[in-house]
Amino acid sequence: MGFTAGKSKSSNKDVIFSNETIRGIVDFSRVHEPKAKYGRDKSKFDNDKEYTLSLRMDDAETLKQFNAILKKYNFSETVLHPGTKQEMPRVRPDKDGTLRVQFRRNYVTDEGKINKIPVVLSDGKTALPPTSLVGNGSEAVVYLTISQDAKTGEGRSMLLAGLQVLNLASPTGPKFMNLSQSTTGNTTSDDEDISAVF
């Protein structure tokens, strides 16, 4: 049947968890090795790191899928910037003018466990090795874990849960070579729930 994100094991009755997918072109993918949060160059603390990727929204079908998720889970079209806490649109143009939305997931859970992002190839079974980077322009299915307020139905979070790469683009440039030579040690076992990140 292919790759599927796991269901949350959270006992929090105030929150409803769901899984969704969205297909499109991804850029700036950091799914094997986390980066420092809030645009910093680096961080020595694990709880100050995150996995990220940007999904292009200039394709009408991808934008339609994303807007359907926003509507289904009662998300607003704006979000607070995690660093500055200023409100900004979820879908916004990058420096080159391309419309994008960014998905994140903390490197460390609230309980102190190391998260990992499952990354598989188009068959949904073969894992992409940690030394293989997902280059800009790769076509992929992004797996998301959605949380909603159980009482109001309002969307709370939309977190990166996994990635199925349908058409892998090769990364280019020296900075990508440095990333491909270092891998992150993940301590979460393969059979653990991959979506309980809250």
Q: What is the pLDDT of residues 111-130, one digit of tens each?
A: 889 999 999 999 999 999 98
- Section 72-78 average pLDDT: 93
Q: In which band, very low, low, confident or very high, does the pLDDT at 27 lie, cut at 50, 70 and 90? A: very high
Q: Supply the DSSP symbol for 111.
A: T
- Domain architecture of the chain: domains with CATH: 16-180 (2.40.50.140)
Instruction: Decide: helix, strand or coil at residue 62.
Output: helix
- Section 159-185 average pLDDT: 69
Handedness of CA 191, 120, 38, 18 (dihedral sign): negative
Q: Give percent of the chain above pLDDT 90.
A: 55
Q: Supply the DSSP symbol for 114.
A: B
Residues 6+ apart with CB under 8 A from 160: 31, 51, 52, 53, 103, 104, 105, 117, 142, 143, 144
| Tokens 């807007």 belong to residue | 67
Enter the tokens of residue 144. 């998301």
- pLDDT higher for 195 or 81? 81
Q: Is the pLDDT of residue 177 over 70?
A: no
Enter the tokens of residue 161. 């849960």
Per the prediction, the chain carries an average pLDDT of 80
Q: What is the pLDDT of residues 30-58, one digit of tens each?
A: 999 887 776 666 666 666 789 999 999 98
- Section 3-31 average pLDDT: 79
Handedness of CA 24, 26, 32, 35 (dihedral sign): negative
